Amino acid sequence: MRICVAGAAGAFGMKHLDALNNIEGVEVTSVVGRTPGTIRDFAKKRGIGHATASLEESLARDDVDAVILSTPTQMHAEQAIACMQAGKHVLVEIPMADNLADSEEIVRVQKETGLVAMAGHVRRFNPSHQWVHNKIRAGELKIQQMDVQTYFFRRKNINAAGKARSWTDHLLWHHACHTVDLFQYQTGETASEVFGMQGPAHPELGIAMDMSIGMKVPSGALCTLSLSFNNEGPLGTFFRYICDNGTYIARYDDLVDGYEKPIDLSGVAVSNNGIELIDREFVSAIREGREPNASVAQCLPAMQTLDRIEQGMS
């Protein structure tokens, strides 16, 4: 499997490169970056044979079977469609687009081409959330409420590595997307009731820095999501699953019960790294000619729910 990583030198591009190194039979043959000189130097240090500032150049290569897009959100839809139209399978980082119309077009092109197209909804793959999902499927747990906090201190336009961004992030279409999809995935239902409220926009970035979202599925389970770029304190996303048979708190790849007692996740997956697990699913789906978990079609209901939240946002 020969893969191109676009946005390879960014925070998540490097996480994908590290993850792909752990997957047998996978070779990164091309990387794409913003500036030719910088990405060539990066590729040389990583031992990658081809580097370019042009995604189109990589898509034209015979030694590229699939592409992972770790590029700015605003480029995701156009680039994902370009990959499929060039005959390449594609994993596009979350979110697949920053609006519903573009998301629907990605799904349409995937159906038209028959290629594997996957969205980077990594929460489906984190061992912590997989453990909960397995318990739900086995009938041992039922979610009554998910209480989720997504907190960052990001009053300047920087990425997860603390470096300046060339684009603007978004609490709703990026960070809320994780939880909206996970809530619907874990309950197996699409939200029937939603609401959203947002705080003042940042004077320079032009985006809301605080947000509150509520969802309810037909079975009655609730999700309360608080998001902020103004939080000074522990950063990241923290998920509290309040269930009929216990309470569980997920922090990325770790899980504890309501009393902070660690849950053993050693047998859940072949890795405790969610990025590696999502990349493994992408590669396996291509090899096996099947629809992956977190295919763009499976993730479209999350985009539809985000659109409903945005339409009603006050």
- Dihedral (C-alpha) 69, 70, 72, 77: value to the nearest 10 degrees? 20
- Domain assignment present for residue 285? The answer is yes
CA-wise closest residue to 109 among 138, 132, 77, 140: 77
Please report the pLDDT score of residue 241 as a whole number.
98
Is the domain of 141 the same as that of 51? Answer: no
pLDDT band at 295 (very low <50, low <70, confident <90, very high): very high
- Domain assignment present for residue 261? The answer is yes
Is the domain of 174 the same as that of 144? Answer: yes
pLDDT tens by residue, 219-269: 999 999 999 999 988 888 999 999 999 999 999 889 999 999 999 999 999
pLDDT band at 168 (very low <50, low <70, confident <90, very high): low
Is the domain of 60 the same as that of 174? Answer: no
Is the domain of 57 the same as that of 167? Answer: no
Is the domain of 188 the same as that of 287? Answer: no
pLDDT tens by residue, 60-114: 999 999 999 999 999 999 999 999 999 999 999 999 999 999 999 999 999 999 9
Is the domain of 112 the same as that of 160? Answer: no
Is the domain of 23 the same as that of 140? Answer: no
The C-alpha atoms of residue 177 and residue 239 are separated, in whole angstroms, by 14
Average pLDDT estimate for 110-134: 98
Is the domain of 153 the same as that of 254? Answer: yes
Residue 67's CATH number: 3.40.50.720
The kind and range of the H/E element at 277 are helix 274-288
Is the domain of 173 the same as that of 59? Answer: no
- Domain assignment present for residue 297? The answer is no
pLDDT > 90? residue 192: yes
Query: Looking up tokens 């040389």, which residue turns up?
Result: 44
Is the domain of 110 the same as that of 145? Answer: no
Residue 256's CATH number: 3.30.360.10
- Domain assignment present for residue 168? The answer is yes
Asked if 123 contacts 129 with a C-beta cutoff of 8 angstroms, the reply is yes
- Domain assignment present for residue 130? The answer is yes
Please report the pLDDT score of residue 159 as a whole number.
55
What is the pTM for the complete model shown?
0.94
Q: Roughly what angle, to the nearest 10 degrees, separates helices 177-187 and 296-311?
A: 120
Question: Structurally, how many domains does the chain consist of?
Answer: 2
Is the domain of 132 the same as that of 109? Answer: no
- State which residues form the domain around 27: 2-122+275-292
Is the domain of 157 the same as that of 264? Answer: yes
Residue 295, both tokens: 């295919």
DSSP-derived secondary structure for 43-101: HHHHT-SEEES-HHHHHT-TT--EEEE-S-GGGHHHHHHHHHHTT-EEEEESPS-SSHH
